[in-house]
Amino acid sequence: MEAQKGTKPAGARDFAGAVPRIYDELLVPMIFAPYARDLAARLGARTLSSVLEMAAGTGVVTRELAARLPASTAILATDLNQPMLDEAARIGTQRPVAWQRADALQLPFDDQRFDGVVCQFGVMFFPDRARAYGQVRRVLQPGGVFTFNTWDRLEANDFPDVVQQALVELYRDDPPRFMARIPHGYFNPELVRDDLARGGFSARAEITTLAATSHAASARLVAEAFCQGTPMRAELEARGPDELARATEAATEALVRRFGAGAIQGRLSALVVEVVA
């Protein structure tokens, strides 16, 4: 399903506490790493002088950019959530980059400052995507490129789909639907193109579907990653002091039933978008 209009997005507090560490240790290698390499490769194929990264999270794309782009390319990584940026800075990059807290809806940068803007799996969280795209268009130089990705529908991504189904079964009267509502709620290419156009991009965006494979050492780690390392954690903890553990256990059991014990793997699918200013 697509994101519901008026739905409150995940807030900064939902990416605080233990979430940044679990997110980076479990989710980054499990689902984010292959797409980070793809985005960095796309930008690396261009000659860029300055790149802005939005919604950098704990820095998986930032690290790939720092490794792939020449030292002459300035990299500025931003995120709304300071605890995520703090974790990214703690992990570090192989060459210096700049870190700065910034709101995608009101970027604190001069017009036409960058010739590249990149965002990995962040646009789904923007409460007003057309406004955020307008900010990207403003800070991009003419001919600059905006490259980003967004998750495909939930059913095309095995691990979060199984976790979501397990929680629907566990909480039949009022299931948490974070995974379907936000991360996997923005997969319609024409909606993406329409939002970009409303943000001021006149060129037609190139949108491709990119499949990958997710790997995990155990079903338990997958359950911990999604239940405890995403904003869904806040939804579960709000239900009671024992609900985070109960939900993690239910998700683990469902994953074992689907994929078996031991190391497991599942399908990943995302949309990759490139549009020129």
- Report pLDDT digits (tens) over 131-156: 999 999 999 999 999 999 999 999 99
What is the separation, in whole angstroms, between the first and last Cα of the chain? 29
- Is residue 156 within 8 A of residue 269, CB to CB? The reply is yes
Domain 12-276: give its CATH superfamily.
Vaccinia Virus protein VP39 (3.40.50.150)
CA angle 111, 116, 118 (to 5 degrees): 110
Structure tokens at 235: 């939804």
CA max distance for the chain: 55
Q: Where are the domains of the chain?
A: 12-276
Q: Please give the single-letter amino acid code of residue 275.
A: V
Distance CA 47, CA 115 (A): 9
The predicted structure's pLDDT at residue 14: 66
Query: What dihedral angle (degrees, nearest 10) is formed by the CA atoms of 48, 132, 198, 118?
Result: 30
- Mention every residue, 6+ apart, whose C-beta is less than 8 A from residue 164: 154, 177, 179, 180
3-state SS assignment for residue 206: strand
Average predicted confidence (pLDDT) for the chain = 94
Question: Helices 129-139 and 189-198 sit at what angle, rounded to 10 degrees?
Answer: 60
Can you give the pLDDT at residue 92? 97
Report d(CA 99, CA 253) in Å as an integer: 39
In angstroms, the CA 93 to CA 106 distance is 26
Task: Give residue 12's pLDDT.
Answer: 47
Best CA proximity match to 236, nearest among 224, 246, 244, 226 = 244
Beta strands in the chain (DSSP E): 50-54, 74-79, 98-101, 114-120, 140-151, 206-216, 264-276
Give the Cα separation of 125 and 11 in Å (integer): 9
What's residue 217's pLDDT?
97
Record the pTM. Answer: 0.93
Distance CA 149, CA 44 (A): 16
The segments of the chain whose pLDDT lies below 70 read 1-14, 16
Go through 146-179 and write b for each residue having 16 or more CB atoms within 10 A of its CB, e for each that does not.
bbbbbbbbbebbbbbbbbbbbbeebbeeebbbbb
64 sits in the region (left: phi over 0; alpha: psi -120 to 50; else beta) called alpha
264 phi, psi to nearest 5 deg: -135, 165
